[in-house]
Structure formats: C-alpha cells, structure tokens
Amino acid sequence: MHTATYASPHARLRALPFAAARLTGGFWAERQAVNRAAGLRHGYAQLEQAGNFYNLRLAAGLTTGDYKGYLYLDSDLYKWLEAVSYALAAGPDPELQALADRTIGLLAAAQQGDGYLNAYWQVAKPGQRWTDLDHGHEMYCAGHLFQAAVAHHRATGRPDLLTLACKFADHIDATFGPGKRQGACGHPEVELALVELYRETGERRYLALAAYLLDWRGHRHFRAFGSFGPEYYQDHAPVRDFSEVVGHVVRQFYLDVGVVDLYLETGEPALLAAAQRRWHDATAHKMHVTGGFGARYEGEAFGLPYELPSDRTYCETCAAIGGMMLNWRLLLATGEARYAELFERGLYNGFLAGPALDGRSYFYVNPLQSRGGYARSAWYATACCPPNVMRTLASVEHFLATTSAAGVQVHQYAAAEITLGPRALRLDTHYPWDGDITLTVTATDAAEWELQLRIPTWAAGATATLNGAPLAAALTPGAYAAVTRAWQVGDVIQLRLPLTPRFTQPHPRIDALRGTLALERGPLVYCLEQGDQPAGVDLLDVQVDLAAQPQTTARADLPGVVALAAPGYRLNVAALAETLYYPADAAPQPRAPLTLTAVPYYAWANRGAGAMRVWLPAA
Amino acid sequence: MHTATYASPHARLRALPFAAARLTGGFWAERQAVNRAAGLRHGYAQLEQAGNFYNLRLAAGLTTGDYKGYLYLDSDLYKWLEAVSYALAAGPDPELQALADRTIGLLAAAQQGDGYLNAYWQVAKPGQRWTDLDHGHEMYCAGHLFQAAVAHHRATGRPDLLTLACKFADHIDATFGPGKRQGACGHPEVELALVELYRETGERRYLALAAYLLDWRGHRHFRAFGSFGPEYYQDHAPVRDFSEVVGHVVRQFYLDVGVVDLYLETGEPALLAAAQRRWHDATAHKMHVTGGFGARYEGEAFGLPYELPSDRTYCETCAAIGGMMLNWRLLLATGEARYAELFERGLYNGFLAGPALDGRSYFYVNPLQSRGGYARSAWYATACCPPNVMRTLASVEHFLATTSAAGVQVHQYAAAEITLGPRALRLDTHYPWDGDITLTVTATDAAEWELQLRIPTWAAGATATLNGAPLAAALTPGAYAAVTRAWQVGDVIQLRLPLTPRFTQPHPRIDALRGTLALERGPLVYCLEQGDQPAGVDLLDVQVDLAAQPQTTARADLPGVVALAAPGYRLNVAALAETLYYPADAAPQPRAPLTLTAVPYYAWANRGAGAMRVWLPAA
C-alpha cells in the first residue's frame, strides 16, 4: 500500500519515505500487533488450506493434481506477501521471514521462462494465456505481484522478488501495447501497480504501459457479464470522459487510483479532473457514513445516488480500502484536507470493521444494520478482503503524514515517531479514545519549516498550544493549522480535539435513513449491538433522544474501548395490532425510556452475532 | 386459475362453477378486454419470437435445429394457453380458437408415446429425462400443462388437451411415488395442478401423487443452488413443520397453494395450520403495502421480517399472483374475510402493476420506488410473468364470489352477472372509482338463503339499504354483512363504501419506510409519478402533509382514472451543503408548499419511465 511519490513531479505532497514512520503504541500499534501475531499467520494457514500455495506448487511442477478454487487465487497470496513485507520492515520476525522466503522461492520455481506467472492459466489452461482478458484476472494478479515485489524490495532491499516481477511486467509490456496485442484486464489493478513499479525501478515502459491500459478501457471492449453491461467494468466511456462512479465498486476505485497515480507522474489535468468528479459523485451521493461504498449485492455495485440501504448494502471491505487508496492519492495530488478526512472515516469504520479484533476472521460484506446471525468468516472462496486488510494494517503508519518543500503535514493522529532526515517528530496520543495530541520536535535543522496539523470537520472548538502558549494559527475545522518557524528540539505542540459524542443526520434524499440519527465520537461511528442493551429490548424497537447528550462509558467485555450511553426509548410494539400497515391516525405507539449503549462500529460482531444498527430511529 | 372446489369436502366456501360469473362492464371488463384484444395476441407473437413454439416443433420433429432459450419455456406457452381457454369461455374468438387448436395439435405431435412431454429435455437432452429434478423444471412445466388442460376442458368441453395431459400425468404417476422412483421437482407447481386435475377427472391417483410430492419435499434432498441452501426450495423442513416463509417467493407460494389444495380434499388439519402459520408470517412481516412479496433480488427471495425496501425490492409479478392464489384457497378453506381482503389488495396493486395499460409490456420486478429509467418489457428471457398475468386477467370474474350451503358470498365488487342454478345476481358498480355498489336479485327460488357482502377493513362508515330501507345487518369493517331471507326477484341492496382518500403508516419496525406515509383510496394504493408534479420538482425532495385531506382529481392522459391531489412541500435541497451527512443540529431544510398529484400504483410507468414513489416522506 506504500506509495513512493518522493519524486512524482505532480504530487503536491509526498508520501513519507519507507520506514520514516514508526508506530510507538496506542490504537494502531495494537491493531498492527494483532495483525502480525495472529492475522498474517492465520492468513498463511488459510492460503495453504484454500490451495493458493498448492496451485503454485502445481505450476512449479512440484506436485501433481488439479487446480483448486477460483482463477484469481494468486492475488490473495500476493497481498499477503505484501503485508508480510511491511511487517518485516517494522520489526524482525524469523518465522514470517522464512514464510516469505519460501513463497518467493515457490514463485521463482513457478514462473515461466518468458516471465509469465499465473497458477490458474499455467495449470488449468495451458497454452491459453490471455484468451479471456474480460474475466481471466491475469493482469489483476500480476498487479498484486508487482505491489508485493515493490513492498518487499523497499522492506528488505533484496532484489529477488522485484526482479521476478519485472520479468513478468516486461513480458506483459512485450505482449500488449501500441503496435502489439490490444487489450486490458477486466479488473483494474495492474495500472496502479505498474506506476508504482515505475517509481521503484525508474523503468518508463511500465508507466507507458499503465497509460496504455487506462486508455484502452472505456470503449466497450468487454463482453456483457450476465445482466451487467459495460458499466460493470467501467468500460462504457474513456477514463477522462465520465463523471459518475458506476458498476463494480472495487474495479471503479482501483481504476481511479491508477488514474491519479498516472496523473502524479504526468500531470495531465484531465486525469485528475475526471478522478475528482467521480470522487465527488462517490462521496456526495454513494457513500455510507462509515466511509464504506457499494449499495448492491447485484454486481457488487454502486447504487443510484442516495440509494444507501443499511441492511442489504454490500460495503465490501475491499471497497472501503479502495476508497482509502483513492483518497490518499487525491491528498497527494492536491494537499486538500477533505481527502485526509474521508481517509480517516474509512480507516476507523468501513475498513476496520472488516477484521475481527483477534485477527482470525474477516467480513467481506459490511452492513450497517444486521437483524442478527451475521458473522465474520475465517476465509472466503473469493478471499480478496482478508489479505487486503492485512496489507493495509501492516502499512498504516505510512498514511500518518506527508512532506513537501515547505515542511511536514500531519493527517492522522497516532502515537508514532516520524524521522525525515535531520528533522524528527514524536506524536503522543491515546486518539481516538481521547483528543489530546502532543507533538514534540525531537530533531531539526536550523532552517524554518512549516508544520501542518489537520483539524477534522467535527472538531469545532479545538485548541492548541506551542510550548504552553496559544498556538498562533487558525484551527479551522476541515483545514490544516499551519505554523512556520525555526523549530527547536523540544518544542511541543499540544492539540486538543473535542471528542464530545455527537448525533449526525443523513441527507434528506437518503430514503433508507429517513428519521434516523447516527452517533459519532471523534473519527468513530458508533452502533448499537443487541447484547449491550437491557434484556428483551429488540433493536428494531429503539429510539434515541436527540435532546439528551450521550455520555462516555465502558464495557468490561471490550477492554480499552470507549462506549457511549445514550438516553432513548423502547417502543412497545406488542401493543400494536399484528399488521404491517395502519391508518395514519392510529394512536401513537406507547414507549418506555431506557438507556442505550453504543460501541464503535469497527468493534461489532466480536461478542456474538446479535443484531446491530448504526442508524438509530429518532424519538 | 379457476379452482373447481364444488365437491371439495373441506371447503367452507365453494368456487363458482365455471362460467357462472360474467363481467358486464367497468374496471375489470376493460382490463380483460385489453388482455383479449392485445395481451393474448401479443403473447402469441412473443412466444413465437422467443422460440417456445419452435422448440415444440423441434420436439415434434416438424423442424430441425437447436433448442432455444431456458429449459422451462414450455411453461410460458401453457400459461398462455390457459389464458386463451378462459377467453374462449367468456366469448367466441375464432382467431384465438385457431391459435389454441394449432397449439394443441403441436403438443399432441410433440408428446412422446409414453406420455412424456417437454421440449427442452426431448430436444436438448434426449434420453436424460428426470436427471435433474432440482432444476430441470419438468414437473413444473407439466403442472402448467395440467392447469391449461383443465381450463381448456372446462371452457370448451373438448377432451383432447385434457386427455393429453392425463397421459403425461399417468406417466409421472407411473414413474414417481411409493415403491417407484423417489423425487419431486425443485419448483413446486405440479402439486396444485394435480389436485385440480383430480377435481376435473376424479382420478384419485393424481391426488395421491400430489400428496406424495408434497411429503417428499422438506428433507434436504435438493443440492445447494449457488450460495442458497435448502430454504431456497422450501426443502429445509417438511411442509407441516415450518412456520416461516423462506427462500424463493414463487416457490413458497406455489407450494403452499398445493398444501391448501390438498387440505381442501383431505381435511388434514396440520396442512391447513402450517399454511396459515406461513401466511401469517408472509402477511404480518414480509408483505409490501401493494400486496407484493419478495424483498431481495438475490434468490428472488423473501427478506427477513420487516425487511421491505421500496427501491430494491423484488416483488415479482408472479409472487403477487402466488399470494393471490394462496389467499383464494385459504378463503375457500376458512371463509374468513381477511383472505379476500388481501386478495383484493394484491389484485389491484401488486398484480395489476405488472401489465401495461395497453397489454403489450410487463413488469417482472415491481418496485415501490423508482429513481427513474425503469420500464416494462415486451417479454423476458424468463417470461413467467406475462402469461401468468394473462391467465389471471382472463379468469378474474371467477374470484368475485363463492357459494355455500347457506347461500352466496360476494368478496370482490365488479359489474357482473352471477348465475347459480335458479338464483342469479347482478352487480352494478363503478368500483373502484366510486364506492356505490348495487346488487340486484335477478332470479331466485322460494327458499331462504343467505347473501354475504364483504366490508373492507378501510370501509368504516359503510352504509347499505335493502329496497330503500336500512339493511338489517352489521356493516363491520373486515367482516361480511349477512342477510338471510326469502329473496324476491327485483330485491335491491345498495351498498356504499366510503372512498375518502386516506394516509397509511408503516409498522415502526420497517426501517425502509420510517417517516413516510402511503396514500390509498378504496382498494387502490397510490403513487407519485415525476411527470405529474410541478416542473422541476424531484420526487426525492417531496413531503406530504398528513393534516391536509387529499382530494380527488383527474389527469387527461389517464382517462377514467381517479387521481388525487395532496397538499405537501418541496424541500430545497440546493440550500444544503453537498455532503451526505450533517450535524444533527444543522438548520432545518427550507421548504416550499406545493400540491402533489398521485395516481393509482397499478397505472404507473404508462406515460414514460420517470421517477415514482409509493411511500411519501411525511412533513
């Protein structure tokens, strides 16, 4: 997930150099520790059990049998390997190191002489490579290999996996492009990976190939997929020419990530403008309050504007990750706080609900309401989400801050150390549980430089001091507070973001949410879980009272988590006739007061598979 | 659709003898005339174009080539032939007669020597009959043949199609059952058809076979269908043992129709009780206000209780028909008004929205909200719905009334003549456009007999006179007004049902409908269509005012239809920030008053494919 935009000529902000940031404790360090200790090992065992390694052993001629599972299984393994690479950079781990080395050896054994590498097509369809670009996922898998190889090279400095990846990229480049074979992959991914491979190697052919593939798309090349037309693949119009996100959500986001990555290198205004128009459509019309995307099971697709059901929404974990990837690149391209803000919303909510707290099970679909019985699975036949979670968790420190010629921009708050040549910062905070952030300059050169701190939109009333005196900077919600000075080692900024629990209302056009409120605190969206409410209260019957201020509380079975207690009511539906539709002038439903307990959405379904709801009927 | 329960020993009420009722004008006569003049001819042309006839010609050896379309195409043709049979009974039509005769000749030519008849399995899979009971639809198609044959026999008195059908039924009976091969069809239908074939022929083997097939189901015989388990087929539990409607809606309803049909002949209490428990679940937890069913596209399935979205609901036209078929049988079994009431709700709304007003296009999916762009199609690759509509429209007079030893029960109001031996009634009414119903006794014997008139639940304040004097009977909404006397020719009952437009509220557990109201008048559910509102008003932005009484009005482009004018508001969403989620204490949205125009839901999408909504946000 790391993006090396240090030299990208059109990046307003540059990603941190690899390993410049280190988590030192707190919320994300804990999540990352679980990912390392449990998630990555669980992932290895699941990949072994599902046949991902077995398939590559078949391709390498190390065993015999039939290919197992869907044709895109290699990609799961690559995302896991990318995650392992980040983990190895963050700290030594001989066991993970051995697993990675063994995997790379297997890939080398499986790779064909001309660089081609894909277990399915080598084993199940020998001689038929590139015969089903629409659904074959060959370039999609290749893209994940390239991302893993770049991560591994940055993490270890070793050339072996990167060399293997370049050999495959060279093969694709020799096969497809102007004057060669025409085509692109039905599932975007290789485009963004080729740009990153270019950044890592300097090989401009990879950048040109990414541009070619992005341009090839959008001319109705792909055949209809069931009842889905070209929008499913974003093949209905060229990438510069359409303004609405359509079709399969992950495809749309991965495509636009590639579009912005190409912009960062080429500076072509039409690329950025088109991606921004689509981002606007996605976030102003088709986004859940969790930062999740994808209203429909059918086609794993965006719905129409304002079509945002809570119960039957799709909200694939990978879609939340895709949205974060896009927000990250748009932040690099523009420096605008709104992208960092939505990155944070997705990170703490739509994304983080994906993995279980113990790292051993994962959601594919992330509803905002469950009527009960819905739980994470250890793995999936289509297991894109679990290793996508793993690589995101393993690289989360990368997204905390950026640099520019002017200085350093802090976008997300976590306990961390950030070292940038002669300058270094330390962030101390228990965010998101409290809003106090202490930023200490731990090293600096003599030059004046700028420090920017993002003030979230919800943080009206934020305060900040510098060495105890009020900070001479505007603390405008939804913007950056900026201070330029000749920093001294030991300078301390104390930022206080108010974390008062707050109610949020939906846009009146969202029919599915009419008459409801969401409960939020800081970056966290909260939800009600059945098991936290008084006995016998059905989540279908509760109301919250907007006039009553929710208070923080705790749940013994969710240690370390700030829960919320919200005054509300329980409707006595037993008093209603057993019919679905009533005269509008029927007597109002009787109700009784009670206190509702809310927990962060990301933590739901870790204590049983009871009912859950994010949007709460307003009294 | 006609059910001959004249002799069914456990029917509390008996269906009218075939052709005892005749529509004389008004609402349903008009719909039926369109069905005859346009629908049935359109159906023939579409069946020819889609390959249904061609496939049978292949089976008959009259032409050569490959089978076209899905494997269940025969069933569409059978439903059309059933509809044509009813139309021929209602009045001569040489063209339809010739089409029916030609079709029967083709079926006779295609039928195999042992009685087996199925174009797909004969042409595409010779020698493989009954090898895929789960999905092969052979008995499903056979059931529709049996229903067509029974209808044709009743309509024409001719034995040819019935004899052909019995030959196939005998083949199935010789193949499946105790001591023979074990199995049933993945899609229920043949069970209800076999009971009706028994009623028509007196052959008890058909009844026993129906019972066997109903009992075979429910033991997890069928294999998983994609991600769907045995609930998809109602194969998770025996028919007597479960209480919740599950899985594929049409399968569930056709199954329960067969269950109640078997009860009507055998009187086994557990059959009726199980069907009634499931009916309660369907109507108290899973029914749209239109009398439509099926919340989910995935699996064409029921949702969980109270999961009733307006926009992405499935509400297949066939599901509304299935619900009506079940309500009809439960009415016959129990004599309870609630079944007739829900039959009416489905008939005027969920069902009647299926066909276009011109009879030349049909909905498969019937949403209660469209954001625009959704229109009926002339036909479908899976064309179950259009001919199902045709046979229902062609037999609608059959559902107006029933008889019992005590007398006559009038369940639905339409201009019609009903003749029952020495007794006859005439109904004159413009229902549902006005609520005046005049019932005249046009023939009678000397005995005392009872006349029952259904008073709908919404008809509080109904009045009635007998020969000008107040009727000596309770007019209780949701029950029958009953008068027993020695009727005289010329006796006139004048019933007045108040048709004041009324607002209806949803059960508070229906999350998708919170804060909205439906507008109804008599049996009709109304909706807003974009084109009827003031220019520039988006249906996403309207509110209705519960305190203001809607008034009747008219639309020149919907002649004969009573429209409604409802005072309301338009939200000025342009004044809102372009974001989906706001602080709950943000200023209220500004709004401006306007008058909204509502038309009957059944009439929607006949004047363009603009936005539509049934549930209206309450101001």
Q: Name the segment(s) of chain B with CATH classification 2.60.40.
A: 403-496
Which residues from chain A sit within 8 angstroms of residue B578, using beta carbons? Answer: 280, 284
Of B298, B304, B508, the CB nearest to A573: B508
Of A505, A578, A589, the CB nearest to B508: A589
* A vs B: CB pairs below 8 A: 152
| Residue to test with chain A: of B243, B287, B312, most A Cβ within 10 A | B312
Query: pLDDT value at position A453?
Result: 98
List B82, B300, B397, B520, catalytic entry: B300
Residue of B nearest to A285 (CA): B580
Dihedral (CA of B152, B158, B159, B160) sign: negative
CATH of domain B403-496: 2.60.40
- Would the CB atoms of A307 and B311 count as touching at under 8 Å? yes
Report residues of chain A scoring pLDDT below 70.
Answer: none
The tokens describing A543, both together, are: 């109301």
* A231 belongs to the catalytic site: no
Q: What is the mean pLDDT of residues B72-84?
A: 98
Query: pLDDT value at position A475?
Result: 97
- Would the CB atoms of A573 and B507 count as touching at under 8 Å? yes
**Nearest-10 Cα torsion for B16, B19, B20, B24:** 120
Q: Name the segment(s) of chain A with CATH classification 2.60.420.
A: 403-431+436-496
- Residue B577 predicted with pLDDT over 80: no
Tell me the sheet residues that pair with A591. Answer: A571
Which residues from chain B sit within 8 angstroms of residue A540, using beta carbons? Answer: 306, 508-509, 511
- Would the CB atoms of A512 and B515 count as touching at under 8 Å? no
Side-chain half-sphere CA neighbours of B568 within 13 A: 28
Residue of B nearest to A501 (CA): B583
**In B157-268, alpha helices (H):** 160-175, 190-201, 204-216, 249-266
Give me chain A's average pLDDT, please: 97
Tell me the sheet residues that pair with B463. Answer: B496
Cα of A616 to nearest chain B Cα, Å: 10
Residue of A nearest to B459 (CA): A583
Of B280, B512, B580, the CB nearest to A506: B580
In the structure, what pLDDT confidence band is assigned to residue B286 with cuts at 50, 70 and 90?
A: very high
Query: pLDDT value at position A587?
Result: 81
* B247 touches B299 (CB < 8 A): yes
DSSP annotation of A39: I
* B300 belongs to the catalytic site: yes
pTM of the model: 0.95
| Residue to test with chain A: of B227, B581, B591, most A Cβ within 10 A | B581
Tell me the sheet residues that pair with B480. Answer: B454
The 10s digit of each residue's pLDDT in B13-69 is 999 999 899 999 999 999 999 999 999 999 999 999 999 999 999 999 999 999 999
Of A503, A508, A573, the CB nearest to B571: A508
For residue B376, the SS3 value is coil
Phi, psi at B542, each rounded to 5°: -95, 155
Cα of A233 to nearest chain B Cα, Å: 21
| Residue to test with chain B: of A510, A527, A581, A585, most B Cβ within 10 A | A581
Query: pLDDT value at position A437?
Result: 98
List A141, A384, A385, A527, catalytic entry: A384
- Would the CB atoms of B580 and A285 count as touching at under 8 Å? yes
Query: pLDDT value at position A449?
Result: 98
Query: pLDDT value at position B586?
Result: 82
* B145 touches B160 (CB < 8 A): no
The 10s digit of each residue's pLDDT in B89-108 is 999 999 999 999 999 999 99
Which residues from chain B sit within 8 angstroms of residue A297, using beta carbons? Answer: 297-298
Of B371, B502, B541, the CB nearest to A583: B502
- Would the CB atoms of B579 and A284 count as touching at under 8 Å? yes
* Residue whose C-alpha is closest to residue B275's, from B260, B288, B296: B260
Provide the ipTM: 0.93
The 10s digit of each residue's pLDDT in B134-164 is 999 999 999 999 999 999 999 999 999 999 9
Residue of B nearest to A305 (CA): B371
Contacts made by residues B205-208, CB under 8 angstroms, sequence distance 24+: B205/B170, B205/B173, B206/B169, B206/B173, B207/B262, B207/B265, B207/B266, B208/B177
- Would the CB atoms of B579 and A541 count as touching at under 8 Å? no
Q: Does domain A403-431+436-496 have CATH number 2.60.420?
A: yes
The 10s digit of each residue's pLDDT in B401-454 is 999 999 999 999 999 999 999 999 999 999 999 999 999 999 999 999 999 999
> What is the spatial distance between Cα B513 and Cα B515, in angstroms, rounded to a whole number?
6
Which residues from chain B sit within 8 angstroms of residue A310, using beta carbons? Answer: 511
- Would the CB atoms of B507 and A580 count as touching at under 8 Å? yes
Which residues from chain B sit within 8 angstroms of residue A305, using beta carbons? Answer: 371
Q: What is the mean pLDDT of residues B511-533?
A: 98
The DSSP string of B250-296 is: HHHHHHHHHHHHHHHHH--HHHHHHHHHHHHHHHHHSB-TTS-B--B
Query: pLDDT value at position B1?
Result: 78
